[in-house]
Amino acid sequence: MSPAPDASTHGDGSGTQVRHGGSPGRSRGRSRGGDRVMVPDADFTSYYGRPIVKAAPWEHDIAYYLFTGGVAAGSSLLAGGADLTDRPGLRRAGRIGSLVGLLLSIVALVHDLGKPSRFLNMLRVVKLTSPMSVGTWILSLHGPFAGLASAAELVGMLPTRWQRGPVRLLLRLGRPAGLVGAVTAPPVAAYTAVLLADTATPAWHAAHEELPFVFCGSAAAASGGWAMVTAPIAEAGPARTFAVGGAAVELVMAHRMETSMGLAAETLHTGTAGRWMRASKVLTATGAAGALLGGRSRVLSVVSGTALMAGSFCTRMGVYEAGMASARDPKYTVVPQRERVERGEQVRHQG
């Protein structure tokens, strides 16, 4: 019999064939993308190939946010460092990167929620068990300071005759605000990993050990890349170091993640996510190499900085898509759990 056309929510990742009328069957779960298959075909049963867990109802906005948030956080750090080490060009690049990142993040978040008030709605409680609540508070803490520092930077760019009264005050607040922003930036970069991992989405949850490192590395690479593009070459040294280090961490930890995730890692190699992830690796590696070798060339700097940013963007997109794919295909929920059960290692509370 032909496979039954399934309902709308049935994505492209289905591994189960419906034989006919009513028989959801035990069948070969096979990745359809034709990409590399890391895990042998799994035999599993599902209910008409329908997903078990629900994919997060998040659009690509969230992937963009992961990226812009990372850029913003890393940029705040660079700006802070630059401020302390007196690199005004780099500081400006950092602060502007932070501002642009934050603004885009807010656009993405609000778009995802529908209206701004819904963001504020989250501030009615503090909930430690909710990474989103925690993240909201982190953002609410970081955002104003980073924003203030960026505002100071912008004001600093104004003609001096306008820098009067309260504006001067703002200028003076730039440094302390920027430093607070820098110190609160790492949580911004890191919490998004927890946000994703703290779900039932197989690929995200399975990655919970390494994902914070991947995301932080990615943030460093992207923000470093941004600074390589926007800051004066002479001052961009730390940014390059930061970027190269970030890229290295990202690549290494992503590799570790893929090997420790089990079956769900498959989703990082196949389909759309696979394409993003491969692009990410190439771009990140290239960008890092470029930063190492040709950091003093303006052109190479811009090219490798852009590559690093693009690589980070691809990582975020890849992780997002892998999560979605892993939620849509029941295989990634059933097989690991079934294997646990069959090994007699169900998750049980001990004592």
Partner 1 sequence: MGPNSLFGPLDPASDAGYTDAPKRKGFFTDTSVCIGCKACEVACKEWNDVPENAFEMLGTSYDNSHSLNANQWRHVAFIEKPAAKPSAPSVDLGMPAVGAPVSDVPQDEKPDFQWLMSSDVCKHCTHAACLDVCPTGSLFRSEFGTVVVQDDICNGCGYCVAACPYGVIDRRRGPEGDPKVGIAQKCTLCYDRLTDGQRPACAAACPTESIQYGDVDELRERATARVELLHERGVMDARLYGNDPDDGVGGTGAMFLLLDEPEVYGLPPDPVVTTKDLPRMFTRAGMAGTALLIGAALSFVRRRP
Partner 2 sequence: MAEAHPVGFQWVVEAQNRGAKVIHVDPRFTRTSAVADKHVPIRVGSDIAFLGGIISYVLENGLDFRDYVVNYTNAATIVSDRFEDTDDLDGLFSGFDPDKRTYDPTSWQYDVEDEPGQQSAAQADDSEETQEQRDSAAGMQHEAHGMQVEGKPRRDETLQHPRCVYQVLRRHFARYTPEVVEQTCGVSQADFLEVCRAWTENSGRERTTALVYSVGWTQHSVGVQYIRTGAILQLLLGNMGRPGGGIMALRGHASIQGSTDIPTLFNILPGYLPMPNPDQHATLGDYVDSIRNPGSKGFWSKADAYTVSLLKAYWGEAATPDNDFCFDYLPKITGDHGTYRTVLDMIDGKVSGYFLLGQNPAVGSAHGRAQRLGMANLDWLVVRDLFEIESASFWKDAPEVATGEIVPEECATEVFLFPAASYAEKEGTFTQTQRMLQWREKAVDPPGDCRSELWFFYHLGRMVRERLADSTDDRDRPLLDLAWDYPVHDEGALGSEGAQAWGEPSAEAVLKEINGYDVATGRPLSSFVEMKADGSTAGGCWIYTGVFADGVNQANRRKSRHDQSFVAPEWGWAWPMNRRILYNRASADPDGKPWSERKAYVWWDEEQQQWVGDDVPDFEKTKPPSYRAPEGSDGIEAIEGIDPFIMQGDGKGALYVPQGLIDGPMPTHYEPVESPFRNPLYGQQANPTRMDYRRDDNPMNPAPPEEHSDVFPFVFTTSRLTEHHTAGGMSRYLEHLAELQPEMFVEVSPTLARERGLEHMGWCHVVTARSAVEGRVLVTERLRPLRVEGRTVHQVWMPYHWGGGGLVTGDSANDLFGITLDPNVLIQESKVGTCDVRPGRRPTGPALRELVADYGRRAGIGDQLPARIVTASADAQARSLAAAETSDDDQEGQ
* For partner 2, the closer CB: 5 or 344: 5
Dihedral sign for Cα atoms in the order 229, 234, 235, 236: positive
Residues between 22 and 41 that touch partner 2 (CB under 8 A): 22-23
Contact stretch for partner 2 (CB under 8 A) within 14-22, 194-202, 321-329, 333-341: 14-22
**157 is a contact residue toward partner 1 (CB under 8 A):** no
Q: Which stretch binds partner 1 (CB under 8 A): 139-147, 192-200, 293-301, 314-322?
A: 192-200
CA 29 to chain CA centroid, nearest Å: 29
- β-bridge mates for residue 24, sequence order: 18
Contact 228, 312 (CB under 8 A): no
| Residue of 38, 56, 233, 300 interacting with partner 1 (CB under 8 A) | 56
145's CB contacts (< 8 A; 6+ apart) are 177, 178, 180, 181, 184
Residue 242, binding choice from partner 1, partner 2, none, Cβ under 5 to 8 Å by partner class: partner 1
Nearer to partner 2, 21 or 57 (CB): 21
Chain centroid to Cα 38, Å, comes to: 23
Binding segment toward partner 1, per CB under 8 A, in 97-105, 171-179, 206-214, 262-270: 206-214
Cα angle 9, 14, 215 (rounded to 5 degrees) comes to: 85
Q: Give the one entry of partner 1, partner 2, none that residue 286 binds, where binding means its C-beta sits below a cut-off of 5 to 8 angstroms depending on kind.
A: none
- The answer to whether 47 contacts partner 1 (rule: CB under 8 A) is yes
Residue identified by tokens 């994902």 is 211
Token pair 């849509």 is found at 328
Using CB under 8 A as the binding rule, the residues of this chain from 132 to 171 that contact partner 2 are none
Quick check: 292 and 34 in contact, CB under 8 A? no
The footprint of partner 2 on this chain (CB under 8 A) covers a number of residues equal to 8
Q: 45 φ, ψ to 5°? A: -115, 145
Report the residue number, 39 or 113, with the smaller CB distance to partner 1.
113
Nearest residue to 317 via CA among 187, 208, 222, 209: 222
Kindly state the smallest distance separating residue 186's Cβ from partner 1, in Å. 3
Cβ distance to partner 1 smaller for residue 65 or 170:
65
